[in-house]
Amino acid sequence: MTTSPAVPWTGPDPYAAALHAGHGPLFLRRTDGWLLPLDVERWCARADPVDRAVLDRCEGPVLDVGCGPGRLVAELAARGRTVLGIDVSAAAVDHTVRLGGQALRRSVFEPLPGESRWGTVLLMDGNVGIGGDPHALLGRVARLLAPGGLLIAETTEADVDERVDVHLTDAQEAVGAPFLWARLGTPALLRYARGWEQEAQWVAGGRRFVALRSRRASSSAEPPKSTAVISSQRARKPSADWPVADR
Ligand SMILES: C[S@@+](CC[C@H](N)C(=O)[O-])C[C@H]1O[C@@H](n2cnc3c(N)ncnc32)[C@H](O)[C@@H]1O
């Protein structure tokens, strides 16, 4: 039997094993037994044309939330863009760094470098599900973005609005601790995104995307700082001294 990690996605199995192997099988299993396959093989591959078209839309410094093994971070870094991946999984962060990207092992709900200064936040591959509370996640993303910043999120093909308890499983015996996850189709995401400007919606390669713009005038009293860029290549550096400044 595999020991269940206290925090989802962070244990040695089965997510880390799948990332190490570069493929599944890996699933989110609902309590009713329904299995949602996770496309680990695609996540571990290079950015494909659909990914690259998403990245073409990014503005300013990019934060990839739940970056997984880092194909998007690596592609943006190769383009010379300022980009940081964050993920709670050590295996995901290590993989991203090995690809040449910068990544921090950190939850999106913890303090992060560049708060309120990111030009784009990515929630790809179902990551709108993180935390199982779309209101909380959208609120957090709004606080990470600069005023008028862009959120690009991938939604499900089906028009669902679902918050469920799931386990990560390889469909054999390795089952992690249960955690809350959300699945949102585009209409559901737009319902949660009150106060955001709808920038675009598109479908490509059978995948669905929404781009939302945060409020242009920030109500937060934090004054803008200087221009800038992440200049360190060190991974897992504490946020307090991560050298991010504004563009
Ligand atoms: C559905 S997978 C997406 C994989 C990824 N986008 C990729 O390209 O490979 C969800 C990812 O989000 C990460 N994650 C889960 N909860 C998180 C949180 N609270 N903060 C940051 N990352 C999280 C997981 O470790 C996992 O890598």
Structure-block tokens of residue 37: 């396959």
pLDDT in tens, 86-134: 999 999 999 999 999 999 999 999 999 999 999 999 999 999 999 999 9
Return the residue whose CA atom lies nearest to atom 4 of ligand 1: 68
pLDDT band at residue 12 under the 50/70/90 scheme? low
pLDDT computed for residue 175 by the predictor: 65
108 within 8 A of 87, measured Cβ to Cβ: no
* Cis ω for the linkage preceding 147 (within 30 of 0): no
> Residue 1 pLDDT more than 80?
no
Q: Minimal CA–CA distance to 122: which of 183, 68, 41? A: 68
Residue 69 CA, ligand 1 centroid: distance in Å: 9
Structure-block tokens of residue 141: 């993303």
Q: Minimal CA–CA distance to 165: which of 155, 175, 153? A: 175
pLDDT in tens, 59-68: 999 999 999 9
pLDDT in tens, 194-233: 999 999 999 999 999 999 999 987 544 444 333 333 333 3
pLDDT band at residue 176 under the 50/70/90 scheme? low
Alpha-helix runs per DSSP H in the chain: 15-21, 40-44, 49-56, 71-78, 90-98, 134-144, 186-192
pLDDT in tens, 38-67: 999 999 999 999 999 999 999 999 999 999
Report the atom number in ligand 1 closest to the C-alpha of 130. 16
Return the residue whose CA atom lies nearest to atom 12 of ligand 1: 66
pLDDT computed for residue 173 by the predictor: 61
Set out the domains of the chain in order of their start, with CATH numbers.
47-166+180-213 (3.40.50.150)
Rounded to 5 degrees, φ, ψ at 212 are -125, 140
The pTM of the full predicted model, rounded to 2 decimals, is: 0.88
Task: Provide the CB-side half-sphere exposure for 238 (13 A, CA).
Answer: 2
Return the residue whose CA atom lies nearest to atom 16 of ligand 1: 130
Q: Ligand 1: which residues within 6 Å by Cβ?
A: 9, 43, 65-69, 71-72, 86-89, 92, 107-109, 124-127, 130-131
Structure-block tokens of residue 201: 């919606």
Four-CA torsion 237, 128, 135, 16, nearest 10 degrees: -50
pLDDT in tens, 23-36: 999 999 998 989 99
